[in-house]
Amino acid sequence: MFDAEKWSLVWTHRQTFIDGTISTLLMALFGLILALVIGIVIGFMATSHKKALRAIARVYVEIIQNTPVMLQALFLFYAVTFAGVNGFSPLMCGIIALGIYHGAYISEVIRMGIQSVPKGQSEAAYSQGFGQIATMFYIVLPQTFKIILPPMVNQVVNLIKNTSCMFLAGGAVDLISRTNAFAVGEGTGSAAGQGYIIGGVIFFIICFPLSMIASHWEKKLKQKDIQPVKVRKKPDDITDAELEEIIREKGGEH
């Protein structure tokens, strides 16, 4: 583990890990964009007043969440490849598979965020002449955003880690695939342990700060929800009778 020669071998092939990291970040970025689009659409469908839309959203979420992302990626890659579609790269497969998979989880985060806003606020908005879209945009979503932010960041972390599941779909593209190729390589296999350590360290450097941000936001939101009640002291120069009279007068104003 502390063999300088093996670490030197890792350094010599550092471009392998750099290329893998870039591919992983690209896959995660575009996969996240796709997941957000799918999540928003399905999340709104899940909170729609139309039963058919809610049913479609529920079926999608249950199917995707209850099947492994690796199985979905393999099915997608080989189904498209055997269909004769040209130019469908492993990177594209990873983006689509991760987008579809995490879109289901993001939709649930959005659904729970929307449903956490009291219905009375929506009803009050309707009574003031707001339509459904205006109510969602001006009343519901601003309150939903702060609620869903921490779990959304956690989904980003999970998405980045799940890029490691793509190494079976179509060859070495992502960081784990490149790391594994280094570990089993004819001239580099002797430094397999060092290679896997470097791969793990890179993932940790990417994911740990995001996890800390999510944890910090979550704690901050909880602190805002629990505000201390300030009790004003009764001035020494006011008698109890005078204080009761002031309270009665204030109550009469309402």
Residue with tokens 């893998």: 20
Q: What's the distance, CA 41 to chain centroid?
A: 15
Q: Is the pLDDT reported for residue 234 higher than 50?
A: no
| Average pLDDT along the chain | 85
Q: What is the pTM of this model?
A: 0.81
Which residue would you say has higher pLDDT here, 244 or 167?
167
pLDDT of 224 reads: 67
Lowest mean pLDDT among 37-46, 62-71, 113-122: 113-122
Which of 79, 65, 60 is CA-nearest to residue 169? Answer: 79
Which of 160, 157, 24, 2 is CA-nearest to residue 90? Answer: 24
Give the pLDDT confidence of 162-195 residue by residue, as tens digits. Answer: 998 888 776 667 899 999 989 998 888 889 999 9
pLDDT of 252 reads: 47
Give the pLDDT confidence of 92-149 residue by residue, as tens digits. Answer: 989 999 999 999 999 999 999 988 888 888 778 778 777 777 888 878 888 888 888 8
CB neighbours of 106 closer than 8 A, spacing ≥ 6? Answer: 35, 36, 38, 39, 40, 43, 152, 155
Lowest mean pLDDT among 9-23, 45-59, 83-97, 152-166: 83-97
Q: Residue 33: how many CB atoms within 10 A of its CB?
A: 12
Buried b (16+ CB within 10 A) or exposed e, 102-135: bbbbbbbbbbbbbeebeeeebeebeeeebeeeeb
